[in-house]
Structure 1
Amino acid sequence: MTPPSSTRPVALITGASAGLGLALAHGLADRGWALIIDARGADALKDAADALADRTDVVPLAGDVTDAEHRADLVDAVGELGRLDLLVNNASYLGTSPLRPLDATDLDDLRRVYEVDVVAPIALTQALIPDLTAAAGIVVNISSDAAVEGYEGWGGYGSAKAALDHASRVLAAEHQELAVYAVDPGDLRTAMHQAAFPGEDISDRPEPATVVPAFLRLLDARPTSGRYRAAEFEPAVTS
């Protein structure tokens, strides 16, 4: 792989073998961004990288974001490419499916939710702050409406995303040279959303690719750091 030039932007996207992470990777590849992509499944990640490689430089690194050694490998990959303009903390864990009431949630499973959805994004961001700062970069933490609404069965995932939202606000206050966003993409037709509604037909939910233009508009506009819904950046519909 040929390293990108110093003017070519670089993005690191976690959970990028499927769903929103993969859709965002394709959207950025179409713009010529170099990519570092991560996911737990090596085979699916390789397939994703192969599909992206005809348009851009892509570094696939399979592993678990809760693993410190894997995060170190991601940081090393950034170092090899020489810069980092965008970190997308997309990898998430819903919890046991079907979802359980909070008073019946297994605490070991709840810890796993928090390790994946809160601790790992903070840890990876910590490790990449120097690179992001050097590029006056952007951090996008993928949130959910469950972070602000009290849905039955969503206590673990929703509270973890609420914690990530608040961590995003604190990071923005502490690093004003960065743009830090918690973004709710809305309900999408993904494997995780299907796991939240086992046995139900979720074909009415939009495909992840449909919200990519909104994310790209967010990156282009670079508004004040904060929490946003992807719908706020959807192109206006004209008749």
Structure 2
Amino acid sequence: MPVAIITGASRGLGRALAEALAARGWDLVLDARNAETLHKTAAGVAARGTRVTALPGDVTDAGHRAGLVGAARELGGLDLLVNNAGVLGAEPLVPLGDHSLGGFRAALETNVVAPLGLLQEALPELRAAPSGAVVNVSSDAGAEAYRTWGAYGATKAALDQLSAVLAVEEPGLRVWWVDPGGMRTAMLAAAEPDEDLSGTPTPADIAP
């Protein structure tokens, strides 16, 4: 069976992607910071009959990233890396003039540095796979100028550029950077708590 690593997999789009891949017979390594929520998600996904390894931790930690790739190796290798974990940097979002530099640095670490670090760790396995693939979850905030989304958007613009260069440097891999659009998630609610999300698609609506 093919094997995928999905970061930020305990809820939202990460969980929806895990459920979609499990339904197609994929074995999974799932990551999230909240251990309790992650293990509940993993149990639900495993009920579909697939092998699931849940590793709670922070993707900004190099040791945790190595553990994720090691877990995939134990399942037989790595065919797909999904860099989905992300943070806003400020909750709720604020204009750039009010944004904490510490929050921006934290967002860069999670949204840009960690995906690159995990990719570097995973490259040998991805190169060895018959059809190794990388999916980096992006946002239109990386390309459009939305008020209060500047710092978060800057991290996604950086991730988009890393993805584009990776596609050139690794022609043997399939590389996608994907804007899933607005979704009814806890993250979007935290970003803009006054917004009515009742008509916004759910992650399950978006996941292929």
Question: What range is the shorter-chain TM-score in?
Answer: over 0.9
Q: 2:128: which partner in 1?
A: 134
What do the CA deviations read for 1:126-178 (whole angstroms, capped 9, x no partner)?
A: 00001001113110000001010001111111010000000000111100000
Aligned equivalents of 1:167 and 1:173: distance in 2?
10
How far off is 1:201 after superposition?
2.0
> Secondary structure of the equivalent of 2:160?
helix
Aligned equivalents of 2:43 and 2:75: distance in 1?
19
The gaps in structure 2 that reach 5 residues or longer are: none
Q: 2:161: which partner in 1?
A: 166
The answer to which of 137-146 and 193-202 deviates more is 193-202
How far off is 1:11 after superposition?
0.6
The gaps in structure 1 that reach 5 residues or longer are: 1-7, 214-239
Runs of 4+ in 1 over 4 A off after TM superposition: none
How far off is 1:199 after superposition?
3.2
Q: 2:192: which partner in 1?
A: 197
Aligned equivalents of 2:194 and 2:150: distance in 1?
21
Instruction: Flag the structure with more relative contact order, 1 or 2, with Cα contacts below 8 A and sequence separation at least 6.
Output: 2
Is 1:181 equivalent to 2:193 in the alignment? no
Count of residues in correspondence between the two structures: 206
Cα RMSD after superposing both structures: 0.8
Give me the TM-score of the superposition, normalised by structure 1: 0.85
| Residue of structure 2 aligned with 1:19, choices 12, 18, 34 | 12
Give me the TM-score of the superposition, normalised by structure 2: 0.97
Is 1:148 equivalent to 2:143 in the alignment? yes
What letter matches 2:57 in structure 1?
A: G
Is 1:78 equivalent to 2:72 in the alignment? yes
Q: 1:41: which partner in 2?
A: 34
Identity value in percent = 57
> Secondary structure of the equivalent of 1:206?
coil
How far off is 1:103 after superposition?
1.9
How far off is 1:211 after superposition?
1.3
